[in-house]
A and B are shown apart, each in its own frame.
Chain A
Amino acid sequence: MSSTAAVAIRGVHAEHHELGFWRTYVFSTDHKMIGRQFLFLGLFMMAIGGMMAMFMRWELAFPETAVPGFHWVPEPFMYDGAIPPNTYNAMFTMHATIMIFFVIMPILVGCFGNFLIPLMLGARDMAFPKLNMLSFWVGFVAGIIMIASFFVPGGAAASGWTSYVPLSAVPVYTGVDWGQNLWCISLIVLGASSLMGAINYITTTINMRTRGMTFFRMPLVIWSLFITAILLLLALPVLTTALALLLFDRMAGTHFFLPPGGGEPLLWQHLFWFFGHPEVYIMILPAMGITSDVVATFSRKPIFGYRAMAYAICAIAFLSWIVWGHHMFQSGMDPALGTSFMLTTMVIAVPSAIKTFNWLGTLYKGDIHYTAAMLNALAFISMFVIGGLSGIYMACTPVDMYIHDTYFIVAHIHYVLFGGSLFGVFAAVTYWYPKMFGRMMNETLGKIHFWITFVAFNCTFFPMHILGMGGHMRRIYNPMQYDFLKPLQPLQIFISISAFVLGSAQFLFLANIIWSYLRGKKADDNPWRANTLEWSAPSPPPHGNWPGAVPAVYRGPYEYSSPESREDYLPQWELPEHAQAAAD
């Protein structure tokens, strides 16, 4: 490293150290701090969203009985501890809204996008650090608005996370007034936050890669975050538009979606799902990238078919724009159109299959280390396989006619979003924790959390396929009102008990995060002996990420067990041997 450059960089670096508490921990422009802030926001909201799920599971297993310990909740939210239908509707609406917009997106995209993109590409920060800070704080405000909506008269939004009109467009249909307005406003504000993030990710990835970091030397997690950012940039304005129209219908007397004034209810569904299907991939692509990186590292092998994996991410992203109609097969949309959406939906299974086979190929003849991060990444693969395969049922239009709006769909989305995205989150937090906080997470606690979660997850969500095959509708408050569902009630009870175990097990994960932060073993720079660039920085990296010059990159990200190296890894930043010899 040239000494003048080093001095100059240290000079810049020293200035950063003078930042006070507020600029360091609260209004920080450092991408790593913003990443951590998104992580804590996501974990906090996960506790709220998870609690909603626990209430719902109580109601479904023991309909119309008091939830133990909740007699104190005032009417009309609960009646002496019993959940009334409107509160139940608000719970599943807010459970999904919070988990999708305030847990999975902030953690996978907000936290890991922010933390990893500059570190893995060799940049000192994002392209627009102030915009990045604004992105977090705007998202934070959106979260406050969403939580505030619980406490307004009429309670929170109760028309489902999909908010189908006219139900969501006219207050008397649900009895919810400001709750639904705040729901719209919060998501419009959150959309602005995501757009700022997306612009930052795209600009940083295109312009700020270090010397030698070509596109095809980027780790797959960066590929996935880059493509996700493009999806965000193009999809979110559609949602924002739809939300604005909905808000006008609710508050300004317009009739965009209301038939009495000439409006069209299906327009909402088209707009919503035109955003909503790319959104599904926004939530799964980063987890796929994370899994690829973790599986390669702990198999000590190059990822199988790196280019095929990168192309598959692009193919999924492209196809995600032309499949939205598969959410609308039974909606009254022209059935002939349904046939074309069936075809495109079947085709999107292809890149997903490519990814799965390549992960298997990566394990083949590897040297597999079973760390907690690896276990969670393997769970991602096996659960994503189930979630992907169950998607074929609803892609088939005649079969969808039967299982649409049943628990089969609930099972499918949870295999993809919990079995997929959340196991991806667990893997990512465990894997990058040492870099984020400078300490290792407790492996034993991590493995205990993994096994309980894995078993309880399957006991909770697998039986929902069977409920769905029995015709069990989703979003109903009391299954015992239907004769044909009464025989399925024992299964509901089994699911609820599993769900309580699943929910409780997440405290182990939170405890591990807190305990390891205080008492965890100090992490060295590269505890997993990994190849990608973030592991060349100190743990945790200082302001500016590298105390000296930004390292250059000489090879791809997955050169594990390469014949060129005596070790079983060959970091991207290590000088090639001939260059080393020349330097000596």
Chain B
Amino acid sequence: MLEHLWFPHDISTFGPSVDWLFEVIFWITVLTWIAVTVTMIVFLIRYRTRPGRKAEYIEGDTRLEVIWTTVTAVIMVVLALMSRSTWADIKEHGPPGDVFYAVAAKQFNWEITYPGPDGKLGTKDDVTVENDFHVPVNKVVRIDLTSKDVIHSFFVPSMRLKQDAVPGRTIKVWFDATEIGTYEIPCAELCGFGHSGMKGSLTVESEADYEKFLKDKYAAGQQ
């Protein structure tokens, strides 16, 4: 049980920088919380009412106001600037892709389109399967993500990756999985009565296994 009280194990290249930012914020917030709570408890005990006690008439302190306003503002702005580049790497630009797929969400499945033997999406030999997403390990995967009906959200907890799939738009998503294994792709945006249970399976496999998988799929597709 205890090992489940933190993040799931990460298998993406950008996951560690997301987790690192989480941990930076974790320590900032935990230390702030301890400071505020301890101060509050000390005040609550020390200044509790007793017979003959009178409160001190203090209206405020401009110097203190300036200090805590400035310190908070600086921490917050620095945090925003620190987060900027990670965000840009994941969502704005990324490395050039090695393998390409189209993923279309629909109530309540993920449709995965493989480019077929010609290696190009949008041609006749494309093969589409439901929920069974295979990718090679250590390759930059690029996905054209869209939806056929309502908004869904493509979520791979093991990669910290989440992107809404929006009808009428094609959104570019990339990742680079570093460990062989099978992972779940739940839908993270409420999409109707079948939302719970809408999940795909992501199989990260070796180059050889992946080639074999493709060959079988393409053979099946041509029949």
Asked whether any CB of chain A lies closer than 8 Å to the CB of B124, the reply is no
Is the Cβ of A368 less than 8 Å from the Cβ of B60? no
> Which residues of the other chain, B, contact A365 by a CB distance below 8 angstroms?
47, 55-56, 58
**Contact-residue bracket for chain B:** 35 or more
Also in contact, A399 and B162, with CB within 8 A (given A360-B43, A478-B196): no
In the bound complex, what is the Cα–Cα distance between A336 and B90 (angstroms)?
Answer: 12
Asked whether any CB of chain B lies closer than 8 Å to the CB of A466, the reply is yes
Chain B 142-185 interface residues, beta-carbon cutoff 8 Å to A = 149-151, 153, 155, 157-158, 160-164, 166-169, 171, 183-184
Is the Cβ of A471 less than 8 Å from the Cβ of B157? yes
Q: Which residue of B lies closest to A311 (CB)?
A: B65
Is the Cβ of A301 less than 8 Å from the Cβ of B21? no
Contact with B190, one of A378, A475, A490 (Cβ below 8 angstroms): A475
Is the Cβ of A381 less than 8 Å from the Cβ of B40? yes
Asked whether any CB of chain B lies closer than 8 Å to the CB of A364, the reply is yes
Asked whether any CB of chain A lies closer than 8 Å to the CB of B123, the reply is no
> Which residues of the other chain, B, contact A264 by a CB distance below 8 angstroms?
168
Is the Cβ of B68 less than 8 Å from the Cβ of A398? no
Is the Cβ of B60 less than 8 Å from the Cβ of A397? no
Is the Cβ of B166 less than 8 Å from the Cβ of A481? no
Is the Cβ of A265 less than 8 Å from the Cβ of B167? yes
Is the Cβ of B5 less than 8 Å from the Cβ of A477? no
Q: Which residue of B lies closest to A162 (CB)?
A: B190
> Which residues of the other chain, B, contact A347 by a CB distance below 8 angstroms?
73, 76-77
Also in contact, A349 and B76, with CB within 8 A (given A265-B166, A382-B37): yes
> Which residues of the other chain, B, contact A302 by a CB distance below 8 angstroms?
57-60
In the bound complex, what is the Cα–Cα distance between A475 and B163 (angstroms)?
Answer: 17
> Which residues of the other chain, B, contact A397 by a CB distance below 8 angstroms?
83, 87, 91
Asked whether any CB of chain B lies closer than 8 Å to the CB of A304, the reply is yes
Q: Which residue of B lies closest to A564 (CB)?
A: B57
Is the Cβ of A470 less than 8 Å from the Cβ of B8? yes
The smallest beta-carbon distance between B28 and chain A, in angstroms, is 7
In the bound complex, what is the Cα–Cα distance between A175 and B90 (angstroms)?
Answer: 36
Contact with B47, one of A84, A366, A389 (Cβ below 8 angstroms): A366
> Which residues of the other chain, A, contact B213 by a CB distance below 8 angstroms?
none
Is the Cβ of B55 less than 8 Å from the Cβ of A469? no
> Which residues of the other chain, B, contact A259 by a CB distance below 8 angstroms?
167-169
Chain B 22-50 interface residues, beta-carbon cutoff 8 Å to A = 22, 25, 28-29, 32-33, 36-37, 39-40, 43-44, 47-49
Q: Which residue of A lies closest to B28 (CB)?
A: A392
Asked whether any CB of chain B lies closer than 8 Å to the CB of A141, the reply is no
The smallest beta-carbon distance between B6 and chain A, in angstroms, is 6
Binds B, one of A5-13, A183-191, A239-247, A401-409: A401-409
> Which residues of the other chain, B, contact A484 by a CB distance below 8 angstroms?
8, 157-158, 183-184
Asked whether any CB of chain B lies closer than 8 Å to the CB of A254, the reply is no
In the bound complex, what is the Cα–Cα distance between A266 and B153 (angstroms)?
Answer: 14
Is the Cβ of A89 less than 8 Å from the Cβ of B193? yes
In the bound complex, what is the Cα–Cα distance between A161 and B22 (angstroms)?
Answer: 28
Also in contact, A385 and B84, with CB within 8 A (given A166-B151, A405-B188): no
Is the Cβ of B64 less than 8 Å from the Cβ of A331? no
The smallest beta-carbon distance between A361 and chain B, in angstroms, is 7
> Which residues of the other chain, A, contact B220 by a CB distance below 8 angstroms?
none
Is the Cβ of B60 less than 8 Å from the Cβ of A332? no
Asked whether any CB of chain B lies closer than 8 Å to the CB of A72, the reply is no
B65-84 CB mask vs A (1 if < 8 Å, else 0) is: 10011001100110110011
The smallest beta-carbon distance between A366 and chain B, in angstroms, is 5
Tell me how many residue pairs across A and B have CB atoms closer than 8 Å: 285
Is the Cβ of A332 less than 8 Å from the Cβ of B164? yes
> Which residues of the other chain, B, contact A395 by a CB distance below 8 angstroms?
80
In the bound complex, what is the Cα–Cα distance between A483 and B56 (angstroms)?
Answer: 59
Is the Cβ of A167 less than 8 Å from the Cβ of B40? no
Also in contact, A398 and B83, with CB within 8 A (given A305-B60, A473-B155): yes
Contact with B151, one of A88, A164, A392 (Cβ below 8 angstroms): A164
Is the Cβ of B153 less than 8 Å from the Cβ of A361? no
In the bound complex, what is the Cα–Cα distance between A476 and B157 (angstroms)?
Answer: 15
Asked whether any CB of chain A lies closer than 8 Å to the CB of B195, the reply is yes
In the bound complex, what is the Cα–Cα distance between A361 and B90 (angstroms)?
Answer: 42
Is the Cβ of B57 less than 8 Å from the Cβ of A389? no
In the bound complex, what is the Cα–Cα distance between A471 and B90 (angstroms)?
Answer: 18
Binds B, one of A227-235, A351-359, A434-442, A513-521: A351-359
Chain A 319-364 interface residues, beta-carbon cutoff 8 Å to B = 330-332, 335-336, 338-339, 342-343, 346-347, 349-350, 353-354, 356-358, 360-361, 363-364
In the bound complex, what is the Cα–Cα distance between A304 and B166 (angstroms)?
Answer: 48
Also in contact, A398 and B79, with CB within 8 A (given A173-B107, A330-B153, A482-B199): no
The smallest beta-carbon distance between B169 and chain A, in angstroms, is 6
Is the Cβ of B196 less than 8 Å from the Cβ of A476? yes
Contact with A346, one of B57, B76, B107, B161 (Cβ below 8 angstroms): B76
Given A89-B193, A402-B22, A477-B196, 16 extra CB contacts under 8 A = A85-B193, A86-B193, A167-B191, A173-B192, A263-B168, A299-B55, A350-B69, A360-B39, A367-B55, A368-B47, A382-B37, A385-B33, A392-B28, A392-B29, A399-B22, A471-B7
Which residues of A come within 8 Å of B, CB atoms?
84-86, 88-89, 158-160, 164-167, 173-175, 259, 263-266, 299-302, 304-308, 330-332, 335-336, 338-339, 342-343, 346-347, 349-350, 353-354, 356-358, 360-361, 363-370, 378, 381-382, 385-386, 389-390, 392-393, 395-399, 401-402, 404-406, 466, 469-471, 473, 475-478, 481-484, 487-488, 490, 560-563, 568
Query: Can you offer 19 A-B residue contacts whose CB atoms are under 8 A?
Result: A264-B168, A330-B164, A332-B171, A365-B55, A367-B47, A368-B44, A386-B33, A390-B29, A392-B79, A398-B21, A401-B18, A469-B6, A475-B190, A476-B196, A476-B197, A481-B199, A483-B184, A484-B8, A561-B55
5 smallest A-B Cβ distances: which pairs?
Answer: A259-B168, A471-B157, A477-B196, A335-B91, A305-B60
